[in-house]
Structure 1
Amino acid sequence: MTHTRRASIVQALAIALGLFATAAAATAQVRIAYQTVVEPAKVAQADGLYEKATGQAIEWRKFESGAEVITAVASGDIQIGYVGSSPLAAAASRELPIETILVAAEIGSAEALVVRNGSGIAKPADLVGKKIAVPFVSTTHYSLLAALKHWGIDSKTLNIVNLRPTEITAAWQRGDIDAAYVWDPALGKIKESGTLLTSSAEVATWGAPTFDAWIVRRDFAQKNPAFVAQFVRITGQAYAAYRKDAKAFIANTANVDKIARLTGANAADVPELLAGSKFPTLAEQAAPALLGGGTVKALTDTAKFLKEQGKVDKVLADYGPYVSPKHVQAATQASGQAVAAAR
């Protein structure tokens, strides 16, 4: 074999290996944790818009609580995850390497405390001595504790048990619990034989607002800023479509069916559940009220409350490193470029 021939083969192999590496990088799978929360971006998820925008294969994994998502993100098994403000504050207090990239929803009536018919609970004071189920370190757990504080009820006088949403539904049907603070689809199921005592919309007026957020592992964001920006852009577009014309959005039965399929909620309940939260647009995200400052304050206040309740060991001096508006800013720029290119 001549030197020229050998060199040609080596060069061909190098090119082939380079193409293989490029293909492998293009198909590298990103693992994203979602929950059964009813929100507009489930439509984009169902339609594969995230994969189209990023050019990446995505493995979507369903979780039942923010605490479980945080554990998966902390282990490195999940790169991007959907969590509530309470588990997010707890994770930041533990100084996990994460940052908030988007406020997914400002929670209102989409989360609520429901008491079982026949439980003997007609008013808050009747909760004393009863068994109340809630996913621990979730937004509903935070709201429950805040509501009890508002009512002047010592949480130790209740039997508060840690159950996941599906476990709450099963325990409710067996009559094992007297009340539960949860979100859909479990919320819709327990409402069928229960009475609303309060919701997170009311608890927010008592000084304890809650929100959901998308978080990312900091190392992943540093290595894949374009992916994160596109993820934020697609999510923001879904929120904007709903906010622009909610009636038209839900009038499209395909949208409702996709959300119901991914969340397990009854299709008939989806419009009311969407109305139970506010979904900030990209323009609102980086403003002072949210990622521009308000979210940091909210996390600080939540962490202080959790510390008071013995749910976290410490409160950090600054939660700023765990909130980043730069991904929203990059997403906004990408949206502008896409619009300009379409003209």
Structure 2
Amino acid sequence: MRLANRVATTLIALVGFHTPAHAGDEVSVAYQTSVDPSKVAQADGLYEKATGAKINWRKFDSGAEVITAVASGDIQVGYVGSSPLAAAASKGLPVVTFLVAAQLGSAEALVVRNGSKIEKPADLVGKKVAVPFVSTTHYSLLAALKHWKIDAGKVQIINLRPPEIIAAWQRGDIDAAYVWDPALGKAKESGKILATSADVAKWGAPTFDAWIVRKDFAEKNPQFVQQFAKVTLEAYAAYRSNPKAWVANAANIEKTARITGAKPGDIAGLLEGNVFPLGKEQIALLGSPTVKAVSDTSAFLKEQGKVDAVKGDYAPYVSAGFVKTAAK
């Protein structure tokens, strides 16, 4: 069974069956290896200090895995891409997006391996392309193929998590991969970029990462979510106010590399590859723009057979309320 179908089945089976912990207890938060300024706050324990809660940080390799853990109740707050978010919302998972973690650009990319004989998009036909299913890069890959007028069925698209992509790449088992760091950095050592998510956004299929929270947990612990958002926004503001100075601080680089696994020398470029919205920008995004993006992504996923149905309104899955309070 494909991962997309397994995730869908899990969502249907697990939604609402578990009660999450209160913020006064241990709170489980799912993070991924995407490079962003808040990794420094995570390393410094600022989230725990602001919320007063013991946070169990759990690393996941894909948004699909995060969604499954959130659905089971094992995770209360999670970091996911817009594609798994859309799939979860379409299945009715009781979550709400409370922060846009990043508007994705060149930090996610389609890399082709040296020696694969892929010089242009048309050369992807018949080749093995790895991507984590139901991820932002999966969505971007399908959107890119559509833009290039390439039948996705004629490309051997393989479902692999980022660590598995690195291993398959090093063995020479795959010809290309659409992924993020640290797998992206490893692939670039012996490959070249064919397209980035910044390109795909220009072609009409933008992607983003988001922090989501279970609705039942948020209703019982709104202050935890507000403080979580506040710490993240403060970390983004510290970077955005002076990116060069932030990158020049060796401690920032060390902490980010330690948590994400990215190469220290790649971190500056990866940060430049995405946009990290601040308070007012968040409030503007966490309305019709994000609702429309989730709706459009869901429609695309249905077209591709990744979800069974599209909801008439995705507004219940997006809220600017926590950011508005945090930004005051």
Range class of TM-score, shorter chain = over 0.9
Question: One-letter code of the match for 2:313?
Answer: D
Match of 2:267 in 1: 270
Q: Deviations over 1:86-145 (max 9, x none)?
A: 000000000100000000000000000000000010000000000000000000000000
TM-score, normalization by structure 1: 0.89
The reply to whether residue 50 of structure 1 matches residue 53 of structure 2 is no
User: 1:305 maps to what in 2?
Assistant: 300
Of 224, 228, 232, the match for 1:231: 228
Choose the corresponding residue for 1:315, options 310, 318, 322.
Answer: 310
- Post-superposition Cα deviations, 1:67-92, rounded to whole Å, max 9, x if no partner, equal 00000000000000000000000000
Query: Displacement, 1:231?
Result: 0.2
- Find the partner of 1:99 among 96, 100, 113: 96
CA displacement at 1:320 relative to structure 2: 0.1
With over 3 angstroms needed to count, the CA separation of the structure-2 counterparts of 1:26 and 1:225, relative to structure 1, is closer
Amino acid at match of 1:314: A
- Which has the larger Rg? 1
Q: How many residues align?
A: 308
Q: Which runs of 5+ in 2 are unaligned?
A: 1-20
Give how far 1:27 is off. Answer: 5.2
Displacement of 1:292 after TM fit? 2.2
- Residue 37, structure 1, aligned to residue 34, structure 2: yes
Go from structure 1 to structure 2 and tell me whether the alpha carbon gap of 1:96 and 1:25 turns closer, same or farther (over 3 Å shift).
Answer: closer
Q: Report SS of the residue matched to 1:314.
A: coil
Which whole-Å CA distance do the structure 1 matches of 2:22 and 2:89 have between them?
31
Percent identity at matched positions? 71
For 1:327, the aligned partner's letter is: F
Q: CA deviation at 1:212?
A: 0.1
Q: Give CA-to-partner distance per residue, 1:171-201, whole Å, 9 cap, x none.
A: 0000000000000000000000001100000
Correspondence for 2:14: none
User: Which secondary structure does the structure 2 equivalent of 1:177 belong to?
Assistant: coil
Aligned to 2:154: 157
> Is residue 2:309 matched to residue 1:324?
no
**Residue aligned with 1:277, SS:** coil
Distance 1:195-1:56 versus aligned 2 partners, 3 A rule: same
Q: What's the RMSD between the two structures over aligned residues?
A: 1.0
Distance 2:137 2:31 in 1: 17
Aligned to 2:73: 76
**Structure 1 residues not aligned, in runs of 5+:** 1-23, 334-343
Structure 1 runs (4+) deviating above 2 angstroms are: 24-27
Tell me the residue number matched to 1:197. Answer: 194
Equivalent residue for 2:288, pick from 281, 288, 293:
293
Change (3 A) 1:114 1:25: closer
CA contact (8 A) 2:23 2:224 kept: no
Deviation sequence 1:138-183 (CA, Å, 0-9, x none): 0000000000000000000011000000000000000000000000
CA contact (8 A) 2:22 2:220 kept: no
Letter in 2 for 1:179: A
The within-5 A match list for 1:114-125 is 114-125=111-122
Residues in 2 aligned to 1:179 and 1:26: alpha-carbon distance in whole angstroms: 42
Distance 1:141 1:126 in 2: 18
Amino acid at match of 1:308: E
Change (3 A) 1:233 1:182: same
Write the letter of the residue equivalent to 2:201.
A
CA distance in 2, matches of 1:55, 1:115: 46
1:90 corresponds in structure 2 to 87
